[in-house]
Amino acid sequence: MPLLEVRDLHVEFRTREGVAKAVNGVNYTVDEGETLAVLGESGSGKSVTAQAIMGILDVPPGKIAGGEILFKGRDLLKLKEEERRKVRGAEMAMIFQDALSSLNPVLSVGEQIGELFVVHKGMSRKDGKAKAVELMDRVRIPAAKERVGQYPHQFSGGMRQRIMIAMALALEPNLIIADEPTTALDVTVQAQVMDLLAELQRELNMGLILITHDLGVVADVADKIAVMYAGRIVEQAPVHEIYKAPAHPYTKGLLESIPRLDQKGQELFAIKGLPPNLMNIPPGCAFNPRCPMAQDVCRTDVPPLAEVSPTRRSACHFWKETLDASTR
Amino acid sequence: MPPHGEHVSKDDLKREGEIAEHLLHKAQAESSYAKNGSASGHEPLLEVRGLVKHYPLTQGILIRKQVGAVKAVDGVDFDLGQGETLGIVGESGCGKSTVAKMLVNLERPTAGQIKYKGEDITQLSGRALKAVRRNIQMVFQDPYTSLNPRMTVGDIIGEPYEIHPEVAPKGDRRKKVQDLLDVVGLNPEYINRYPHQFSGGQRQRIGIARGLALRPEIIVADEPVSALDVSVQAQVVNLLERLQDEFDLSYVFIAHDLSIVRHISDRVGVMYLGRIVEIGSDAEIYDHPTHPYTQALLSAVPVPDPDAREHRERIILSGDVPSPANPPSGCRFRTRCWKAQKRCEEEVPELAVPAVFRIGEGPTQHPSACHFAEEKQVVPSE
C-alpha cells in the first residue's frame, strides 16, 4: 500500500466570473522514502492539489468536487476536521515558498517551533523551546541557542527557509509537501537547502512531494515526475526516462525551451501561445491550441492517460509518435 | 510642414542642436577609437570605470549624522561594445540592479565614470543628459508593477515621445506605437487596452516596446524574464535576440539565472557584494572559471539532466552573503571561500588576469579578482 494515493481528484473555485476548474482528475501515489516532483507552470493546479491533500484549501471559494485522498489507507476527505487536525503537522507537513510571510512576525522562532510540541504532544512551553533549539541545530542554524529567541525578520532568507523545514520536520511526519521551497532563494542557498531537505528525508524515510517549475531542481532530487497542465497530469514517469525521451509534446516543449548552462545553443525552442484560462479550458486536449502535433481528434476528445510502460503514463493521443520523435 | 507651427519650430531648433551634439560625439568617439585601436575591433560604446554607489546610513532625528554607508556598488569596471550583450550575474544584494539604475541615470553614482561614446554621462545635466538618456533605455523586471494600470498600452508605449517629441511628431505617434506592437509580436489593435488585460509575457513585451520606442542604442534589461513562466521565458528571450539583430542593439542583461545569461550573452561579468569578481567571454566564464565564487555559483546551478546527478561535483558554500554595510576586509568573498588565507584578509585582489595565467594564451586569460585563482571545470561538458 502506498503512503499516499490521490484518486481522480477534482477541485473547482466558484468565483463571480464563473467556475474555474483548477484540478480535473489527478491521480498519483507517493511511497515512503520516495520523492515525487510535481512540475507545472502557474495555474496548472499543482499547488491546489497539494492544498487539498493538506486540507488547507480555502473553502469557499474552493470546493473539492470529487475524488479520494488515501493516506495510509484512510480517505482524508471523509475525516472530520478535528481528526484531520491531528494528521496535519504530526503525520504530514508542508513547506511553503515564501518563508517570511508564512512565519508569524510577532512570535520568536523558538515559540513557533515549540508550539507544535505544546499543541500536539502536550509539552510545556519550556520543553517546547528546548526542542526548538534541538531542531534548529539539526537544520544547521549556527548559534541556535542564542538565536532561538529572535524573530523571523532577523534571519536571512536561507535561514528562514531552514526554520520552515525545522517546523515541518518537528513531529517527524511521514509525508512532506514542499511547495516551491527554493524559488525565492539564490542558487548557492538553494543548493544548501535542497541538500538539507534530501538528507533529512533519507534519515527519516519520509515521502516527499516537491512542487516546482524548475526542471533543474527536479532532475537533481526527484525519483519520479508528474507533469501537470490545466489541472490534469499529462505525463508521469520515473525521472531518468522523462528527461531522456518525453512522451508528451508539452513535456518535450518544456525541456527544449530551457537554456542550458552547458550549451551556448542557437534560438530557443518556444512553446507558442499562453496557458489556458481555467474558466474556459479548450475542449479535447487542453494543450491542443499550443501543440505542434495537434490533429482534429485532439480538439474533440480528451486523451486518456495511456500506459507507455508499467511505470509510465502519457495523456496524449500521439504519445507513440512523440516518444519516437524524442528518442531519435 | 506639420500644422502646429510654433511648437515645431522650437522642436526643430532643439533637434538641430542635438544633431550637432550627436555628430560632435561621434567625431570625438571615432578619433579616440583611432588612437586606442581597441583590440577587439569594436570601439566600446559604454565604458564604465570605478563606479561606486554608497547609500548613507544616518542616525538621529534632529541632528542627522552619517554613521556609515551601504556599499551597494563599490568599484565596478567594464566595457560594452557595439552590438554586444554583456551579462551581469550575481546573487540578490550584489549590486547588479544598482549598476543598471546608474547606467540609465536613475541613480547618481557616488564616484566613477560612465562614458557613453567617450563622454562621461555622470557629469551631464539638462539637455545633454536628456539626449543621452534617449539612447540608453531600460526594461524592468516585474511586468506587473512597471506598467501604469490606468494608462492604455498606447499611452504607455507612446509616453517616451512626450518627453522626446523630436523622435515622433504628434500626428505620427499612433502609427509608430502600432508598429512597435507589431515588432514585439502583439496585435496592433490592442493599442487601447489596459495592462491588466494581458498576461505576464505579453506585458513584458509591452515593456520592451516602450524601451524600443526612442530607438535607443543600448538597452539595460534588469531581470527581464525572471517573473515569467518557463514556457513563456523562451518566447521573450528569442524576441530580445531578434530585436538585437534587427535594430543593432547593445544589451546589458542583468539576471540571476546563469543558464539564461549564458544563452544570451557574448561576455559575462560575475558580481559579488558590489564588485565584479570575474569577467570574460561566455566560454571563458562558464567553461574555464578561475574565481572560486564563480565556480561555486556555477556548480550550484541544477542541470536538467538526472544522469549528471551522480558525477557532478558540487561546491556548497557555507553561510550567507555578508552585509554590504560592513563588507569583509581584503577579498570580500573570503568569509565563504574554502581557499581563504591570511593574504585574502589583508590585500584586496584586483580584477586583472591572474599572474599564473599571464604567460601564453588560453581561455583562462581573463580578469579574475582572486589571489589564488586556478582553473576548475564545474559545468559538465557535452
pLDDT at A122: 87
- Are A262 and B307 an interchain contact pair (Cβ–Cβ within 8 Å)? no
**Residue B376 is assigned to a structural domain of this protein:** no
Q: Are A246 and A271 in contact (CB under 8 A)?
A: no
Same structural domain, B242 and B289: no
Interval B302-330: pLDDT, tens: 888 888 777 777 888 877 788 888 889 99
* B29-38, B203-212, B317-326, range with the lowest pLDDT: B29-38
Residue B326: count other Cβ atoms within 10 Å of its Cβ: 10
Residue B177 contacts residue B158 (beta carbons within 8 Å): yes
Residue B230 inside a domain? The answer is: yes
* Contact: A257, B230; criterion CB under 8 Å: yes
Verify that B131 and B246 share a domain, yes or no: yes
In a domain, B140, yes or no: yes
Domains and CATH numbers, chain A: 4-98+174-327 (3.40.50.300)
Band (pLDDT 50/70/90 cuts) for residue A225 is very high
Q: In terms of domains, do B197 and B252 share one?
A: yes
The CATH number given to whatever domain includes residue B135 is 3.40.50.300
Option in B234, B314, B317 nearest A269 (CB): B234
Residues B193 and B295 grouped into a single domain: no
In 3D space, the residue among A3, A12, A6 whose CA is nearest the CA of residue A231 turns out to be A12
Chain A, 192-211: which have a CB under 8 Å from a chain B CB? Answer: 192, 195
B55 lies in the same domain as B192: yes
CB A3 within 8 A of CB A207: yes
A70: enclosing H helix or E strand: strand A62-71
Per-residue pLDDT band at B294 (split at 50, 70, 90): very high
Would B217 be classed as within a structural domain? yes
Q: Is residue B364 part of a domain?
A: no
Strand extents, DSSP E, A115-267: 175-179, 207-212, 224-229, 232-238
pLDDT in the model for residue A265: 62
Q: Do B242 and B277 belong to one domain? A: no
The answer to whether A166 and A103 are in contact (CB under 8 A) is no
The verdict on a CB contact (< 8 Å) between B231 and A42 is no
Closest in B230, B308, B320 to A41, CB measured: B230
Residues B200 and B251 placed together within one structural domain of the fold: yes
- Position B156 in a domain: yes
- Looking at the 3D structure of chain B, how many domains does it have? 2
pLDDT, residue A308, reads 87
Rounded to an integer, what distance in angstroms lies between the CA atom of residue A110 and that of residue A117? 11
Asked whether residue B174 falls in the same domain as residue B71, the answer is yes
Q: Phi and psi of B233, rounded to 5°? A: -50, -50
User: Do B210 and B115 share a structural domain?
Assistant: yes
Residue B282 is assigned to a structural domain of this protein: yes
> How many CB pairs below 8 A link A and B?
134
Residue B24: predicted pLDDT: 47
Nearest CA to A185 out of A207, A206, A164, A205 is that of: A164
Are both B162 and B279 inside the same structural domain? Answer: no
Q: B294, B252, B299, B260: which is closest to B277 by C-alpha?
A: B294
What average pLDDT does the segment A71-84 reach? 88
Average pLDDT over residues A154-160: 83
Q: What is the mean pLDDT of chain B?
A: 84
Co-location of B214 and B323 in the same domain = no
Q: What is the 3-state secondary structure (H, E, C) of B267-316?
A: EEEEEECCEEEEEEEHHHHHHCCCCHHHHHHHHHCCCCCCCHHHHCCCCC
Gyration radius from chain B CA atoms? 23
Q: Which residues of B touch A154 (CB under 8 A)?
A: none
A263: confidence class by pLDDT, cuts 50, 70, 90? low
Query: Considering only CB atoms, which chain A residues are within 8 Å of B300?
Result: 187-188, 190-191
Give the single-character DSSP code of B368: B
Q: Tell whether B16 is covered by a domain.
A: no
Contacts with A191 from chain B: Cβ below 8 Å? 300, 302, 314, 316
A44 to chain B: closest CA residue:
B229
CA A61 vs CA A11, A20, A32, A51, A150: distances in Å: 10, 10, 33, 13, 36
Instruction: State residue A137 phi and psi, 5-degree precision.
Output: -60, -45
The domain containing residue B285 runs over which residues? 272-357
Give B33's pLDDT tier (boundaries 50, 70, 90). very low
Q: Assess whether B172 and B199 both reside in one domain.
A: yes
Give B134-158 as a DSSP string.
Answer: HHEEEE-S-TTTSS-TTS-HHHHHH
For the complex shown, is ipTM > 0.90? no
d(CA A177, CA A37): 10
pTM strictly above 0.90 = no
Average pLDDT for B201-226: 91
**In chain B, what percentage of residues exceed pLDDT 70?**
88
Q: What's the rounded Cα separation, in Å, for the pair A287 and A291?
A: 6
- Residue B337 pLDDT class (50, 70, 90 cuts): very high
CB contact under 8 A, B238 and A268: yes
- Among A197, A261, A267, the strongest candidate for a mutation testing the B interface, having the largest count of B CBs within 10 A, is A261
Q: In this model, does residue B127 exceed pLDDT 60?
A: yes
pLDDT grade for B275, boundaries at 50, 70 and 90: very high
Q: Is residue B196's pLDDT more than 70?
A: yes
Q: Which of these ranges, B37-51, B171-185, B194-208, has the smallest mean pLDDT?
A: B37-51
Q: How many H helices and E strands in chain A? A: 13, 12
Residue A195 near residue A122 (C-beta atoms within 8 A): no
